[in-house]
Structure 1
Amino acid sequence: MREGFQDDLGRLHGRLAAMSEGAAEAMRGATRALLAADLRLAEQVIGADSELDDLRSSCEEEAYSLLALQSPVAGDLRMVLAVVYCAEKIERMGDLAAHVASMARRTHPDRVVPAELEPVFRELGEATSHMADRVAELVRTGAKGGHAELSHEDETVDALHARVLATITAEGWEHDQRTAVGLTLVTRFYERFADQTVSVAKRLDFAATGDLPA
């Protein structure tokens, strides 16, 4: 019974890691679509979001089945409940990547990001997708300490977010209000994506140790 439970839990972790890898790839694609005004790529990212929705449903169904049939306790119970919590957060990460892609689609053939801000958004895309990849590694390996690591990376995303806001509110801003509003929305999507990875890492640390990181 115990061995079978661990096999089932391992499969759950595999699906959760695949979700996070999918979210990372979605953010990479969304960023490329955003910077290149690539309508086809934007639509691909938006269309693929349903796959993460399906994986979340599958994770939840299997987790609830384990709870009902195996009645796990202590660390095992924390692990199963963590899957349910993290699947929701990672699905939200996919939604946020799709929102970035939707901005590219909405403004096509115009570009959302002015040339002078392209390097900042490129950094945002790289940082957030790396954070999602790191979450997948933490899920697969069961490594501890991910919350502190990703919280540090989240500070980088916050700084980039602040740089965008400072640029579009400066007196020398050369573009119109519509552009500023669009950039405010998009940079917020990146910032929230990063926040979700930190939430996932925090729950994974709790599941592994029984102590909730501060």
Structure 2
Amino acid sequence: MREAYHDQLGQLADRLADMCSMAGDAMERATASLLQADLAVAEQVIGDDAKIDDARASIEEQAYALLALQAPVATDLRIVLAVIHAAESVERMGDLALHVAKAARRRHPNRVLADTVEPYFAEMGRIAVNLAREATEVIRTQDVERARSMEDADDAMDDLHRHLFTVIMDKEWPHGVPSAVDTTLLGRFYERFADHAVSVAKRTVFVVTGRMPGYGGDIDD
């Protein structure tokens, strides 16, 4: 019975990792649709978002069943609770990729971004996807140091986001208010995607160490 129970916990973590990988794929495609004004790719992201939502619902159903039937304690309880919270963050990552794809669709056949800011979004997209990939591997490996190293990439995303805002606010911005609004919103989508990916990794640190990074206090086994 105990072995089967731990198999179920492992399956729960694997499903969360798969869901995180799906969110990374969604942002990768959404960024391509944004930079290339590719309607077909945007539509793929939009259509596939329901799969991420369904994955969260299925993960939560399994997690709540484990809580009800097994009454886990200590580390096992941390795993179940961490997965529930992390699945919410991953679903939001999928929603943010969806918002990017919808922006590309809304402006098609025109490009959403001005030429001057496209390089920023190419780099923000790269960082976002890499963070999702790293979070996926952190879930699978429970590598605490790998999780902590994600902070550097998140800082790089924050720096890009702040610099992008200064570009938009420059009085010489020649692309008009609608372009500035689109750019501001899209920058926020990428910045929040990165934050959620780091949050997922922090949940894994919590499982392994009993400490939630950025929060006070250890939690005893």
TM-score tier after normalising by the smaller chain length: over 0.9
Distance in 2, matches of 1:80 and 1:199, equals: 16
- Identity among equivalent positions (%) equals 50
Deviations 1:89-145 (A, max 9, x none): 000000000000010011111111111211110001000010001111011111113
Aligned to 2:55: 55
Aligned to 2:76: 76
Q: Tell me, which stretches of 5 or more residues in structure 1 are unaligned? A: none
Distance in 2, matches of 1:116 and 1:187, equals: 14
Structure 1: 4+ residue segments shifted above 2 A: 145-148
Q: Which amino acid is the alignment partner of residue 157 of structure 1? A: M
Aligned to 2:217: none
More deviation in 18-27 or 195-204?
A: 195-204
2:34, 2:103 within 8 Å by CA — same for their partners in 1? yes
1:147, 1:213 within 8 Å by CA — same for their partners in 2? no
The aligned runs of 1:132-211 (5 Å cut-off) are 132-211=132-211
Distance in 2, matches of 1:146 and 1:79, equals: 18
Q: Which amino acid is the alignment partner of residue 50 of structure 2? A: S
SS in 2 for 1:109: coil
Distance in 1, matches of 2:116 and 2:173, equals: 11
Aligned to 2:109: 109
Q: What is the CA-CA distance between 1:171 and the residue it aligns to? A: 2.0
RMSD across aligned positions (CA) = 1.0
Distance in 2, matches of 1:211 and 1:43, equals: 40
Give TM-score scaled by structure 1 length: 0.97
Aligned to 1:44: 44
Aligned to 2:27: 27
Query: How many residue pairs are counted as aligned between the two chains?
Result: 214
Deviations 1:44-82 (A, max 9, x none): 101100000000001000011111111111001000111
Q: Tell me, which stretches of 5 or more residues in structure 2 are unaligned? A: 215-221
Distance in 1, matches of 2:72 and 2:143, equals: 21
Q: What is the CA-CA distance between 1:146 and the residue it aligns to? A: 4.4
Q: Which amino acid is the alignment partner of residue 194 of structure 2? A: A
Q: What is the CA-CA distance between 1:194 and the residue it aligns to? A: 0.6
1:146, 1:202 within 8 Å by CA — same for their partners in 2? no
Distance in 2, matches of 1:144 and 1:2, equals: 26
